[in-house]
Amino acid sequence: RIIMGIESSCDETGVGLVRLSDDGTVELLADEVASSVDQHARFGGVVPEVASRAHLEAMVPTAERAFATAGLKLSDVDAIAVTAGPGLAGALLVGVSAAKAYATALDVPLYGVNHLAGHIAVDTLQHGPLPSLVLALLVSGGHTQLLRVDDIASKITELGSTVDDAAGEAYDKVARVLDLPYPGGPPIDKAAREGNPSAIAFPRGMTGPRDAKFDFSFSGLKTAVARWVEKTERGGAEVPVNDVAASFQEAVADVLTAKAVRAAKDQGIGTLVISGGVAANSRLSSLAAERCAAAGIELRVPRPRLCTDNGAMIAALGAHVVAADRPVAPLDFSANPALPVDVISL
Ligand code: ATP
Ligand code: MG
Ligand code: FE
């Protein structure tokens, strides 16, 4: 069966196509993404109105490109999955409306699915079926969560999350302080490669003995970096951008991997999946590999292209939802900007 996935929760318009075989394997056939990130860069963050308009313009051409790369026709589609939330209301609405139109025209079942679960499900396109129990560290522009995944199609439980900024948000804010471009993840990752990760001892938030075990906090770290840079500039010295980037990156990777390993041990889980845009970070994956190996935990990190927002992740989740015979969404369902992570499909 061919499953079409549509993503429009933030600033990427994505259309993915996958094949679900009878034995449950899911194969990637097409993954087309159009991003409006350049239109947001000068604002230092996503402008919702601009994103919605861009989705409207990009939706049909992106879908056409996906069918062309896969060598498929619209009539080959057997089911459609669309991101129902969480995300920006206006942006989600464009994808949901398009999905309803395609589903009605093609007379195929439609599933409204969870964007965050999609970030986890995408790993199956690269590494095959998930074991029956996995821990997911979801690190993106809007979320930082530790999730217990008993079944990707039906059961996800939140173990902990950030109490303030998301990890990606901290990257974007620190990049601004360092005069690096938006989004901040890739340029900080690059600068950090030339810097000393132990040059500056930035704080590790929420790691004290009295802090909640699996929660995160990054706003103190962000403020510490800003203060450090300010103080250096006031003293008339040049800011060692590479060292600041490396030291900041080390603090983020340290906290994320330490808590993930702690959660895996606590829950008796043998596999860790790291996903979301920040999973593309080189230091996060290398430190996670080191610590997981030491703790005897299998680590799965999808390739960077699959970590950031795309339609293939929604198609992959759709395929698992179809394979599990989950109920189809009523055609009058609406997008939910605050869809909770334990609601995997509507
Ligand atoms: P959400 O999934 O929570 O709705 P989002 O969809 O905007 O948020 P993603 O597209 O998954 O988030 O990720 C974008 C974030 O990933 C940005 O904050 C960006 O800076 C960060 N990012 C991308 N590449 C890297 C990298 N190499 N290192 C660190 N962060 C990165
Ligand atoms: Mg994005
Ligand atoms: Fe995302």
Mutate to test the pocket of ligand 1, among 171, 180, 189 (most ligand atoms within 8 A of CB): 171
Write the pLDDT tens digit of every residue in 245-272: 999 999 999 999 999 999 999 999 999 9
What integer best gives the mean pLDDT of the chain? 96
Check the CA dihedral 169-173-178-184 and report its sign.
positive
- Mean pLDDT value of segment 17-24: 95
> Looking at residue 42, what is its pLDDT?
82
Write the pLDDT tens digit of every residue in 157-186: 999 999 999 999 999 999 999 999 999 999
The whole-angstrom distance between residue 4's C-alpha and the CA centroid of its chain comes to 19
CB atoms within 10 A of CB 243: 18
ipTM of the complex: 0.97
Closest residue by CA, ligand 1 atom 5: 141
Question: In this predicted model, which residue has the larger pLDDT, 36 or 103?
Answer: 103
Beta strand 79-85 with 271-275 is unpaired
Closest residue by CA, ligand 1 atom 29: 185
Is the full-model pTM beyond 0.90? yes
> Looking at residue 207, what is its pLDDT?
86
Q: Does 44 contact ligand 1 (Cβ within 6 A)?
A: no
Residue 212 pLDDT grade (very low, low, confident, very high; cuts 50, 70, 90): confident
Q: Does 143 contact ligand 1 (Cβ within 6 A)?
A: yes
Q: Which ligand is nearest to the CA of 170?
A: 1
Of 1-10, 44-53, 243-252, the range with the lowest mean pLDDT is 44-53
Write the pLDDT tens digit of every residue in 94-151: 999 999 999 999 999 999 999 999 999 999 999 999 999 999 999 999 999 999 999 9
Closest residue by CA, ligand 1 atom 11: 277
How many whole angstroms separate alpha carbon 346 and alpha carbon 325? 13
Residue 195 has pLDDT above 90, yes or no: yes
- Mean pLDDT value of segment 310-324: 98
Residue 236 has pLDDT above 80, yes or no: yes
140: burial class by Cβ within 10 Å (0-12, 13-18, 19+)? Answer: buried
Q: Does 195 contact ligand 1 (Cβ within 6 A)?
A: no
Buried b (16+ CB within 10 A) or exposed e, 80-92: bbbbbbbbbbbbb
Beta strand 12-20 with 2-7 is antiparallel
Ligand 1 nearest-atom number relative to CA 87? 4
The secondary element (H helix, E strand) that includes residue 42 is: none
Q: Which ligand is nearest to the CA of 11?
A: 2
Q: Does 87 contact ligand 1 (Cβ within 6 A)?
A: yes
What percent of the chain is modeled with pLDDT above 70? Answer: 100
